[in-house]
Structures are given as structure tokens and as C-alpha cells.
Amino acid sequence: MNLSGTHVLLVGQSFRSADALTNRLQRWGFRCRVAGSARSASDLIRSSPVHLVLSETRLPDGTGFGLLGTLVGFRVTAFLCLPDEDSCFWLPAIDEGKQCLGLPALRPSEFASTLEKMAQILAAASAN
């Protein structure tokens, strides 16, 4: 898979250390950047291409919900991570620039499948 032009922005303190999600995204060919706060994420979004945003709901200087306003006008897909006791749910927030809050949350395994499908679609598109 060649997704060299597909940039993912991971927003939140937990993404600062290498974790399974970041490693999986990189194996699929996504280029990952990490922002620890809403402000640094907004700066990165304005200064470089971003196709997929994965954000924690709680950020040191705001919330992932507040960050969604920064994405208006950009053709991005975004998910918010909602922590649960031992895991999390992923809330679809923006799909190709269109707000989609209110869709059912995804369990981690469902979210991984969604990301894998996105990677396959992007790989097929870049091959054409």
C-alpha cells in the first residue's frame, strides 16, 4: 500500500508516546503527526495537509469537540476518542468535510476495521 500522501493528525497527550494505533497507521502507510493540544493541532491543520484527524475528547487547552470548528472548510475525516473504563469508543465527527456527529460510536475493533478499509480505498485511489 502506498499512502505516502495521506496525513493523519493525532491530537492528545496519549498519542505523544508510540502506541499500537500509531504503529498500525504507519504500517498501513499513513504519515502521522502528533499534536498535544488543540492550539498546536489548529496550527498544524492550517500549515500542512491533513486528511484524517483522530483526537481525544479532553485536551489540555480545550476539547476535541471544540477542535472540530478548526476543521470547517477542510476536506478531512475526523473521529473523537471517548474513553471508557478500560477502553474507548470512537465517535465519527466529520466525514470528508461534512459533520456527522450523531452516528453510532465505534468499538476499538470496529474502528480498526474502518481505518483498514480507509487505507485500502486510499491505496486503490492512489494506484489509479
Q: Classify residue 59: in a domain, yes or no.
A: yes
H/E stretch holding 91 reads: strand 88-95
Q: Classify residue 24: in a domain, yes or no.
A: yes
Number of domains in the chain: 1
d(CA 128, CA 126): 5
d(CA 34, CA 99): 23
Q: Classify residue 78: in a domain, yes or no.
A: yes
Are the C-beta atoms of 88 and 108 separated by less than 8 Å? Answer: yes
Sheet with strand 98-99: strands edge to edge: 31-35, 7-11, 52-56, 77-83, 88-95, 98-99
Q: Classify residue 1: in a domain, yes or no.
A: no
- Please determine, for residue 3, whether its predicted confidence score (pLDDT) is greater than 70: no
Give the model confidence (pLDDT) of 26-83 as tens digits: 888 889 999 999 999 999 998 988 999 999 999 999 999 999 988 877 889 999 999 8
Percent of the chain with pLDDT over 70: 92
CATH number, domain containing residue 78: 3.40.50.2300
Q: Classify residue 2: in a domain, yes or no.
A: no
pTM value is: 0.89
Q: Which domain holds residue 24?
A: 7-127
User: So what's the pLDDT on residue 18?
Assistant: 59
Q: What separation in angstroms does the CA of 45 have from each of 34, 40, 102?
A: 11, 9, 24
pLDDT band, residue 124 (cuts 50/70/90): confident
